[in-house]
Structure 1
Amino acid sequence: MDGRPVEASIISGGTTLRVPLARPLQPGAAVTVQQDFSVAIPRSLAGSPGLFGYFNGILTLDCFYPVIPVHDDSGWHIGPAPDGGDHTFLDTSFYLVRVKAPASMTLATSGVETARSVDGADQVVTFAAGPARDFFLAGSDKYAKMSATSGETTINSYYLPGLEGGADTALKTAVEALETFNRRLGEYPYTELDIVPLPLQGGGIGIEYPGIFGVAASVYPLELTLKTTVAHEAAHQWFYNAVGNDQINQPWLDEAVSQYFTGLFFLDTEGPAGWNRSLTEWRNFWNRAGSAPIPIGLAVGDYTLNRYGPIVYGRGPLFLNALAAEIGQAVLDECFRGYYQANIWGITTTASFQAWFEACSGRDLDAIFSGWVMP
C-alpha cells in the first residue's frame, strides 16, 4: 500500500481480502494498493457456464481480477453470490488495462484500444474504459468482425467461422437497439459497443458487460432468439451499467427493466405484432412458475432456481406493463427517461425506483408495488 508491504487477511469464505489502512481514509483522499496475483484458467467446459476459461479456442475472462465491493448503509457487500443470477454488484470505476497476448488472437474487451505494440510473437494492447461497472475480455484466433455505426458509436459484431449470417443479424439489431434506446432514454455513453460469441452453456444465452456483451454461439443460427438476446443485452448498457443496482439482492431493477425495454424495441421496429409477441412470451415464461403471484423484487437467493427466471424475466416486465396501464404509457415513458438521466452512474433501489415514479407521475403507487414487487 503506497509502496509499502502490508499484511492482508482473507475472510468471507475465501472470497474477500481485507487490507488494513495505516490511517483512516478521508473523503477525497486516495491510497494506492498494488496486488500481484495469478489465476489458473480452466480448459474444460464440464460444469462451467462458459464465462471464465479457455474453451474451444475462445478465451473468456469474466470476474478475473480483484474489485472493491460496494459500501453503503448496510455495510460492505461481500461474500459469494448465489447460483442462478449475476455475480457482481459494483460501483463505477475507470480502467486502464494492458494485455499481452499472442499476436494471432483477436481481442474484444470493454472500453477502447488506446495503444498497441509488438513484442516478438506477442501483441501488447492497452484498453481504457469508464465510467464502467466491470471489465470483460474475450479473445480468439478464430474471431473476425464486421462493423457499423449508430450516431457517434461504432458497433463491432465479432463472429466465428460459419456464423457470418448471425453476426450480420446481431449487428443490424444492435444498430436498431441503440437508436431505440437513445431516443427513449438518452444517449449511449460510449463510442464503441462490441458483440462477441461465447461458448455459453447451462441455459445462459447472453451476458452483459460495460461496452460489450456476449451471446451464446449456439444462438447465432436462431434469428428471433438472437435478436431478442441482442436487444436485451443492449438494454443492459442503460440498466445495470449506466444506472446501477444490486444485481444480487434486487435483480429486477436491471433484468425486468431490460426485458421490458426489449419489448419496446420490438414495438418500435415491428409495431404492435412485435409488442404482442413479447407480451405472449413473458406470460408463457411466467406460466412456467404456474403464473404464481410471487414478488418480482426478491433477492436471487430467495427464489428457487426454477422460479427465478419466470418471475424476474416473465412477471417482471408484465409489472412494468401494468404500471404503464396505471399511470399512462406516455407518463411511464417520460418517467423512465428522467429516471435514467437522474441516476446515471449511480445506484438505484426498489425504494428509490418507486419514489421516482411516484414523484414523476404524481400518484401513490403503494398498492401496485405491494401487489407485484414486494411482499
Structure 2
Amino acid sequence: MDVKVLRGFILAILVFAILVGVLCCDSVTQLHPPGELAKASENLSWYYIDVVFDPNTAKLICTQTVEYRNNHDVEFDRLYFHLYPNAFRDENRVPFLAEEKQRAYPNGFSPGWLDIEEVMINGNPVEFNVGGYSSNILSIVLGTPLRPGQMIEINMKYTVKIPNCIGRFGYGKHTFNVTNWYPIVCVYDHTGWNTDPYYPVGDPFYSDVANYQVNVKVPYDYTLAATGEILDVKAERAYKVWQFKALAVRDFAWIASQDFEVISRTVDGLTVYSYFLPSYKEEGVKALDYALTAVQIFNRRFGKYPYEHLSVVQADFFVGGMEYPCLVMIDRSLYSQDLQWLEYVTVHETAHQWWYAVVGNDQIDEPWLDEALTEYSTILYYENRYGENVGKEVYNRVIVDGKCSQLQKYYAQGFTSRIDQPVYKFKDWVTYDLVVYGKGASLFNDLRQAVGSQKFYGILQNYYRENKFKNANACDLIKACEKVTGKSWKYFFQKRLRSLNW
C-alpha cells in the first residue's frame, strides 16, 4: 500500500532514541497454542496451482484446482472469481491514476492479462462467463446447487501475461512481482457476492482465508520469495520446481529475481527473511532488523503471529510498500534513500501481517479498519523500541503536524471526505492518505487516551484473538472495546468516523 510518510525524523532524535530506548513489555500476550494454524486450516477451501514461468515472454502457464467449500448458510447456483490481471489489459482502464501512469510504465504501456482456456467441475466441462469493468470477474454456472457444507472441485487452465509495469503486478529490471495473479473466489457476505473492480486508489482486495499448495517451475538461476513455506526445490535440467504450502492465508503472492541475496534470523519461533539486491546488503540487513524488531513488539502487544516465516522483499515497485500474507514488498528506491523511510515503511507493512493477513476486513468498503490501525501500530513500534518520547515525537511529526494539519486546510476549502468511506470515494492518494491513515491513526490515539494504555492494548489483543483468520468489521472492533472496558463505544466511533472536522 502506498505509504506517504513525511520526512520529519531528525538524526538527533534517533540517536537519542537508541541511547535511551527500551522495549516495553508490560503487556505481554501468550504464545499461540500448539496446532493453532492446523486447526484454523480445517474446513477451508484449497487451491492447488501448478505454474510454468517463462521470464522471456513474461508468461505463466497455469493449471489450477480449487476445492471450494461452501461455509455459508445459503446454497449457490454459481461461483464468482476475481481475475485481477485483466485490469492491466486495456491502457484506458488500468488501476492507476493518470498522473501515476508514467511511473508505473517507465518504458511505455505494456498489457497484462489472464486468459481462461478451460473450466471443469468434477471432471466435466461447464459454462462460464468473463465480465466486469475490465473483464475482471469469472462467473461459473453450477449444474447442481452447492449446498451449505458441501465441497466442489473446479479445474482450470489459464495463461497469465505479466506486464512491464512496476506496480503491484508486473516486472521491472530486477524483479517479477507476481501478486493478485490467479483466479480467486470472491467473498460472499451479508451483501452478497463482492465483485468489485480493481480500483486505482487504496488496496481493492477482499478475500477469505484458504489453504494453498503451489508449484512454480522457473529457470534455474531464479530465486523466489513467496507467501508459502518452501517444501522442496527440485532440479529439472535447466529449471527448478519450487514447491510451496500455505495454510489459512487470504492470498498467495511470489516475487522472482535472478539477483536476490537472502539473509534471515529467527525470533519467537518465526524466521524473518530479507531479500535484497546485491548492492544493498547494508540496507537489506537494516530491513531485516526493522521487521524482526517489529515482530517482537507486535507479538507482545497484539498477539502471536501464527505463521512460521515472513519475507521482506526489495522489489521494482514505485508505490512504497505492499502487504501480502507472510510477505511484504518494499520499493527498491527506499533502500537507497534515507533509512528512516525504509524503517517506517517496513514496519508499517509488517504491522499489516496482523491487521490484514491474520485479521482481515473488507479493504474496499472499510479501508480505514486495517490502514488506520496499521498506521497507529507503526507509531507504537517507535514508542516500544525507542521510548515514549520518541513515539510522541514521531506521532506529532507524521500524524498531527503532517497529515492532520494538512487535512484541516483541505476541510477549510470545502473538502468533504470522511474516514468511513469506501476506496472508490477517494479521488487521489493524497486525500486517501490524509483521511484514512492520518485521521484514522488519530482516532486510535484518542481511544488510547480515553481508556489508558493497558486497556488499549487489551482491546487490540481481544480484537486480534476473536477475529483471527476471519474478516472483521467495525462492529467487531467496537465489541472488543466494550468487552475490555465494560462500556459502550458506539458514539465515540460514530462521531469520529462520520465527522468532517474533529
Per the normalisation by structure 2, the TM-score is 0.71
Aligned match of 1:300: 423
Does the 8 Å contact 1:295/1:373 carry over to 2? yes
Larger strand share, 1 or 2: 2
Does the 8 Å contact 1:295/1:371 carry over to 2? no
Distance 1:157 1:68 in 2: 31
Distance 2:451 2:308 in 1: 35
Distance 1:327 1:213 in 2: 32
**1:294 to partner: Cα distance:** 4.6
Distance 1:12 1:360 in 2: 43
Deviations 1:204-247 (A, max 9, x none): 21000000101101111321111111111111111101001001
Higher relative contact order (CA 8 A, sep 6+): 2
Distance 2:287 2:224 in 1: 18
Q: Residues 42 and 107 of structure 1: is their aligned pair in 2 closer, same or farther, counting only changes over 3 Å?
A: same
- Where 1:238 maps in the other structure, the secondary structure is coil
> What letter corresponds to residue 219 of structure 1 in structure 2?
L
> What letter corresponds to residue 124 of structure 2 in structure 1?
R
**Of 433, 444, 464, which aligns to 1:340?**
464
Asked if 1:197 corresponds to 2:323, the answer is no
Distance 1:177 1:220 in 2: 18
Equivalent residues in 2 for 1:181-196, closer than 5 Å: 181-196=298-313
Does the 8 Å contact 1:70/1:77 carry over to 2? yes
Aligned match of 2:434: 310
- Where 1:22 maps in the other structure, the secondary structure is strand
- Where 2:232 maps in the other structure, the secondary structure is strand
> What letter corresponds to residue 119 of structure 1 in structure 2?
E
Does the 8 Å contact 1:112/1:129 carry over to 2? yes
Distance 1:357 1:278 in 2: 25
Q: Percent identity?
A: 30
Q: What is the number of residues matched between the two proteins?
A: 369
Asked if 1:236 corresponds to 2:236, the answer is no
> What letter corresponds to residue 268 of structure 1 in structure 2?
N
- Where 2:144 maps in the other structure, the secondary structure is coil
Alpha-carbon RMSD across the aligned residues, in angstroms, is: 1.4
- Where 2:296 maps in the other structure, the secondary structure is helix
Does the 8 Å contact 2:265/2:271 carry over to 1? yes
Distance 1:363 1:63 in 2: 41
Does the 8 Å contact 2:463/2:476 carry over to 1? no
**1:182 to partner: Cα distance:** 0.6
Asked if 1:16 corresponds to 2:137, the answer is yes
Equivalent residues in 2 for 1:71-82, closer than 5 Å: 71-82=188-199
Equivalent residues in 2 for 1:38-57, closer than 5 Å: 38-43=159-164, 45=165, 49-57=166-174
Does the 8 Å contact 1:50/1:198 carry over to 2? no
Does the 8 Å contact 1:255/1:313 carry over to 2? yes
- Where 1:37 maps in the other structure, the secondary structure is strand
Q: Bigger CA drift: 150-159 or 51-60?
A: 51-60
Distance 2:257 2:393 in 1: 36
> What letter corresponds to residue 251 of structure 1 in structure 2?
P
**Of 335, 341, 346, which aligns to 1:225?**
341
The gaps in structure 2 that reach 5 residues or longer are 1-120
Distance 1:11 1:89 in 2: 18
Equivalent residues in 2 for 1:1-375, closer than 5 Å: 1-13=121-133, 14-43=135-164, 45=165, 49-201=166-318, 204-221=319-336, 222-280=338-396, 281-283=398-400, 284-290=402-408, 292=411, 294-305=417-428, 306-374=430-498
> What letter corresponds to residue 5 of structure 1 in structure 2?
P
Deviations 1:86-137 (A, max 9, x none): 1210000111000000110011000111122111101011101121111111
**1:41 to partner: Cα distance:** 1.6
Distance 2:351 2:333 in 1: 21
Distance 2:316 2:298 in 1: 28
Does the 8 Å contact 1:297/1:350 carry over to 2? no
> What letter corresponds to residue 452 of structure 2 in structure 1?
G
**1:359 to partner: Cα distance:** 3.0
Distance 1:189 1:365 in 2: 29
Aligned match of 2:92: none
- Where 1:142 maps in the other structure, the secondary structure is coil
The gaps in structure 1 that reach 5 residues or longer are none
Does the 8 Å contact 1:263/1:274 carry over to 2? no
Does the 8 Å contact 1:287/1:310 carry over to 2? no
Distance 2:427 2:456 in 1: 31
Q: Bigger CA drift: 273-282 or 167-176?
A: 273-282
- Where 2:407 maps in the other structure, the secondary structure is coil
> What letter corresponds to residue 137 of structure 1 in structure 2?
W
Deviations 1:275-312 (A, max 9, x none): 12331201212333336485322111122313111111
> What letter corresponds to residue 87 of structure 1 in structure 2?
P
Does the 8 Å contact 1:81/1:248 carry over to 2? no
Distance 1:256 1:100 in 2: 38
Distance 1:123 1:245 in 2: 36
Does the 8 Å contact 2:211/2:248 carry over to 1? yes
> What letter corresponds to residue 363 of structure 1 in structure 2?
K
Q: Bigger CA drift: 355-364 or 265-274?
A: 355-364
